[in-house]
Amino acid sequence: MAYYVFNIGLPATSEWWAQNLDRKVITAGYKGQSGDRGDIILNQLIPGDWVIAYVNGHGYVGAGIVLGYETYRLHLQLPSGSLSDHRHERAVDWRYFVEDISHAVNIDEANRQQPRQTKESIDSEKHAERMIGEIQARSGDRKGRHGRLRWELVREAVFDLGRAVSVAEVRALIAMRDPQFNSENIRPDLEKMSVNSDIRAHYQGVKKGRRSDSGHAADRLFKTFSETKVRYEPYIPEVHGVWILEYDFAGNGKVYQAPQTLIAHAATLARREVDAIEMAPIDSELDGRKRVLMQVAMRQGQFNFRSLMLVAYEEKCAVTGCSTVDVLEAAHIIPYRGIHTNRTDNGLLLRSDIHTLFDMGRLWIDPKTMAVRLASDMKNTDYWQYEGVKISLPKSRNDWPNPKHLTKHIEDSSPAK
């Protein structure tokens, strides 16, 4: 696998770049004939190589993986509506990109000069991954056209492991799930999501300050140190406090902990009191392990699960559309049976009263149509307005409720029809 910068040519506009994205290609001009320079440079690319698209006068706008040789094409006539005179093209799986070229990563941010040729090799893999990371961060929460953002997979792995983990442990879990995953940049992703990391500012694409309790999708981990070991764990504001990411006029960033407010201090004390509750005498190792698991569920699992669901459903109830965060709850479809059940495809973000009806089997979701169904004795209630209404689904299909989970919920709760 190699990395290349590729100039998309003229016109240097967002509209021409959008055509590259929509057609899922990278193109070349020259004479527009078989065997010319455009033919050669596109067919020199090996399937699996990365190309980083450049727009003259703006910067780097997209990164993607080159597809097979069979996707090369020489158009005898220009494609209908094409804004460019390029006739050569090769298919690319654009993973990360900005649509507006004014949001491009400029040459200073990329620490690379403007390319002098259509295609230029990037010798340093570390430098190439950094450029890809900058484009990825600049693209925000947008998903690649063929897959999920790398940092999302990294975050999901840490949450699924449910404890303080090393880079190697995260890499191993993701490799088991996706053998094709490029694990070279896992550490920067972990640092970028760690609210207290003193180097996270370096990995943020948009140099804009924020608080860790502002709901940003990237504020999800906490970095810990033990002698020479570094670990990453799910971030819990009540436990870890609120952290501030701040930039000066020169773009230099720093991270520091915010002074604890009276309410936050009270929440911390309350959580400590919960942890200190003696439910019953521990008379066996098994009882002790059960108690630990209960504490983990209260302290980490439920909070982190709700955080995941709030992000996935954009802080709106899947059934009612209610956006009052204080009354939104993360509902397990298959009841909680450990951290491994805290998956977005095993949950719904529901208003508290809808959550109660869901748990009682009075309301369920049709796994085939994703529509709300209600027990027949609910006809004369205000809730009947939701009968047959399709729920709002997350943007990422990976976060949609699993139909098998919905079917199991119906079977287990035996709703009255």
Q: What is the 3-state secondary structure (H, E, C) of 284-311?
A: CHHHHHHHHHHHHHHHHHHHHHHHHHHH
Q: Write down the pLDDT at residue 315.
A: 86
Q: Decide which of 111, 138, 165 is a domain's last residue.
A: 138
304 pLDDT tier (thresholds 50, 70, 90) = low
Looking at 9-18, 191-200, 287-296, which range is the least confident one?
A: 287-296
Q: Write down the pLDDT at residue 149.
A: 61
Residue range 29-58: average pLDDT? 91
Show the domain range for 106: 3-138
Looking at 176-180, 329-333, 353-357, 403-407, which range is the least confident one?
A: 176-180
pLDDT in tens, 50-76: 999 999 989 999 999 999 889 999 998
227 plus 343 within the same structural domain: no
Count of domains forming the chain: 3
Whether residue 204 is predicted with pLDDT greater than 50 in this model: the reply is yes
297 found inside a domain: no
13 found inside a domain: yes
145 found inside a domain: no
236 plus 162 within the same structural domain: yes
Q: Provide CB contacts within 8 A for 264, sequence distance 6+.
A: 237, 238, 241, 242
Whether residue 302 is predicted with pLDDT greater than 70 in this model: the reply is no
Whether residue 370 is predicted with pLDDT greater than 50 in this model: the reply is yes
Q: Write down the pLDDT at residue 377.
A: 87
Global pTM value: 0.39
Residue range 173-178: average pLDDT? 79
CATH of the domain at 37: 3.10.590
111 plus 29 within the same structural domain: yes
CATH of the domain at 185: 1.10.10
Q: Write down the pLDDT at residue 206.
A: 61
Return left, alpha or beta for 414; rule: phi > 0 is left, psi -120 to 50 is alpha, else beta: left
Q: Decide which of 92, 108, 138 is a domain's last residue.
A: 138
pLDDT in tens, 97-128: 888 888 899 988 888 888 888 999 988 887 88
283 found inside a domain: no
pLDDT in tens, 313-344: 888 999 999 988 778 888 888 875 555 556 78
Whether residue 416 is predicted with pLDDT greater than 50 in this model: the reply is no
103 plus 165 within the same structural domain: no
Q: Write down the pLDDT at residue 208.
A: 75
Q: Write down the pLDDT at residue 314.
A: 86
Q: Write down the pLDDT at residue 391.
A: 96
273 found inside a domain: no
41 found inside a domain: yes
159 plus 229 within the same structural domain: yes
Strand 253-257 versus strand 347-351 pairing type: unpaired
Whether residue 247 is predicted with pLDDT greater than 80 in this model: the reply is yes
More confident residue, 304 or 21: 21
311 plus 382 within the same structural domain: yes
Residue range 252-274: average pLDDT? 62
Q: Write down the pLDDT at residue 54.
A: 95
More confident residue, 204 or 122: 122
231 found inside a domain: yes
Looking at 29-33, 53-57, 215-219, 242-246, which range is the least confident one?
A: 215-219
7 plus 114 within the same structural domain: yes
Q: Decide which of 108, 138, 168 is a domain's last residue.
A: 138
129 plus 200 within the same structural domain: no
Average pLDDT score over the chain: 80
Rounded-to-integer distance, Cα 374 and Cα 384, Å: 7
300 pLDDT tier (thresholds 50, 70, 90) = very low
Return left, alpha or beta for 147; rule: phi > 0 is left, psi -120 to 50 is alpha, else beta: left
Q: Write down the pLDDT at residue 27.
A: 94
